[in-house]
Amino acid sequence: MNASTLLNISSTSLYAAFILYLVAILPFSASFKAKSNKSERIGVLLTLIGFIMQLVYFITRWMAAGHAPVSNMYEFLTMFGIMMVGGFLVINHIYKTPILALFALPFAMLVIVYASMFSREVSPLIPALQSGWLAIHVITVTISYGILGMSSIAGFIYLLKAIDDKTRTKDSIWLEVVMYVIVIIIGFILTTILMKGIVKYDDAYLYKDKNEMNAVANYHLPSLINYKGSVAVEHVSGNDYKPSKHFNTGIEVAPVINAQKLNTVVWSIIIGSVLYGIIRLITRKSVFSLVKPLSNKVSLSLMDEICYRSVIIGFPLFSLGGLLFASIWAQIAWSRFWGWDPKEVWALITFLFYAIFLHLRLGRGWEGKKSAWLAVIGMAIILFNVIAVNLIIAGLHSYA
C-alpha cells in the first residue's frame, strides 16, 4: 500500500471520527431524560468507534510519513483531540458520567476542525526532530493533556452546578468571563475556517524575520498588526512577488512575535465579542444561564472527585512527557537539557501550577469550588501553551 493510499485512508478515518462524535452527542443528550441507560451505551459505543477511527488515522499517517505524526500543528492538534476523547472514555468507564461527553466531544471536534486549517502535508523531519524521543515526548504530553482536560471539564461542570446564576456574585461574574472566553475561542476557530477555508482571503507581506532574512507572511484576515518594515506584495509565480496594496493599519511588531497569528487572535477577540453580544441580545440571558441547565442532575461530589483524580493521573504523565522526556530530547537535539525557550518556560509554569494545585488540595483542603476553579485555570494555561506559545511567540518549539 503506497503513501498516497495510506494518507487517503488516514483523512477518511479522521472525517468519519468527527461525524461519529457529532452523532454521539444526540444519544448522550437523550440519556439525561431516559429511564434506562440504553442511550448512554449507544453514545459510548459511537464514541469508542470514533476513537478507534482516530487511531486508524494516526497509525496510517505514521506509516505513510515514516515517522510519528506529531511534527506540525495539524498533527499535534489532531493528537490533542484524540487524547481528549481517550481521556473521556477512561473517566467515563470508571465513573459512568455521560455529562462529560456534552463538553468533551464538542471540545475535541473544535480542535479537529481548527487543526484542519493548517497544512496537512507530510514532509521530512528536520534533523532536530529525527529522534524516537519526538514521539515519546509529544504523545506522553498529549495523553496528559487529555486527562487534565477531563479535570477542567469536571471542574467547569461543578461550577455550573454550584454557582447561582440568579445572584450577581464574584463567582458568577468570573464564570461568565469563562463563558465569554469560550465564545472567543469558538470565534477564533470560526474566523479561521471562514476566512482561510471558505473565503480564501490571502494578502502577502514581505518582511525580514528575526534572522534578518527575507520572508513572506500570508494574511487570511485584513492586517491590523504586521511585521516591522513589512511591504505589501502580490504573488506572481514561484518565489517571485511584485509590490501591491493591501489593507494595513500600520501597527507593527518585531519579528520575534508571529504577527499574522497575533492578527488572527485580535480579529477573533473582536468577532468573538460581537458573537457574545449577539447571543446576549437574542436570549436576554447570560451565556452561563443558558448552559447551566445541563448541570441540573449532576452530583457535586462526583465532579469534585473526577476533578481531583484526573489531576492525580495527568500530572505525573505531564511531568514525564513535558519535562523529563523533553529534557532528554533537548540534550540530544540541541546539546542542552534546558534553554529557557518560550515553550520550555510554559511547560515549567504548567508543571508548577499543577504541583501547587495538589499542594493546596492535599495540604490546605482546597476542595469543591476552589479546586474546580483551579482546574479551569489549568486548562486556560494548557490552551495558552498549545495555541499562543506554539503560534504567536517565535521559538525552537514553534509549530508552523
pLDDT tens track for 184-236: 888 877 777 788 778 888 888 888 877 777 888 888 888 888 888 888 888 77
pLDDT for the residue numbered 23: 93
Mean pLDDT on 130-153: 86
- The confidence band for 390, taking pLDDT boundaries of 50, 70 and 90, is low
pLDDT digits (tens, 9 = 90+) for 319-352: 998 888 888 877 776 677 777 777 788 888 999 9
Give phi and psi for 202, each to the nearest 5.
-155, 110
Q: Is the pLDDT of residue 400 over 50?
A: no
Please indicate whether residue 166 or residue 16 has the higher confidence score (pLDDT).
16
- Mean pLDDT score across all residues of the chain: 84
Q: What is the mean pLDDT of residues 361-376?
A: 89
pLDDT number for residue 344: 81
Number of neighbours of residue 101 by Cβ within 10 angstroms? 27
Which residues, including other chains, have CB under 8 Å from residue 245's CB and lie 6 or more apart?
Answer: 232
Say which residue, 89 or 261, is predicted with more confidence. Answer: 89
Q: Please, are residues 16 and 50 in contact by the beta-carbon 8 Å criterion?
A: yes
Instruction: Write down the pLDDT at residue 393.
Output: 58
Share of the chain above pLDDT 90, in %: 28
Residues 232-255 have pLDDT tens digits of 888 777 677 788 888 777 788 887
193 by Cβ neighbours in 10 Å (0-12 / 13-18 / 19+) ranks as middle
What would the grid cell of residue 85 be? 476523547
Reading the block at residue 158, the C-alpha cell is 461543578
Count CB atoms within 10 A of the CB of residue 289: 15
Task: Please indicate whether residue 25 or residue 134 has the higher confidence score (pLDDT).
Answer: 25
* Of the candidates 224, 208, 231, the residue with the CA atom closest to the CA atom of residue 263: 224
Say which residue, 311 or 346, is predicted with more confidence.
311
The predicted pLDDT at position 378 comes to 92
257: pLDDT strictly greater than 70: yes
Q: What is the pLDDT of residue 42?
A: 92
CA angle 239, 240, 244 (to 5 degrees): 130
Taking 70 as the threshold, does the pLDDT of residue 376 lie above it? yes
Name the pTM for this structure. 0.84
Which has the closest alpha carbon to 144: 228, 83, 58?
Answer: 83
- 8 Å CB contact between 221 and 195: yes
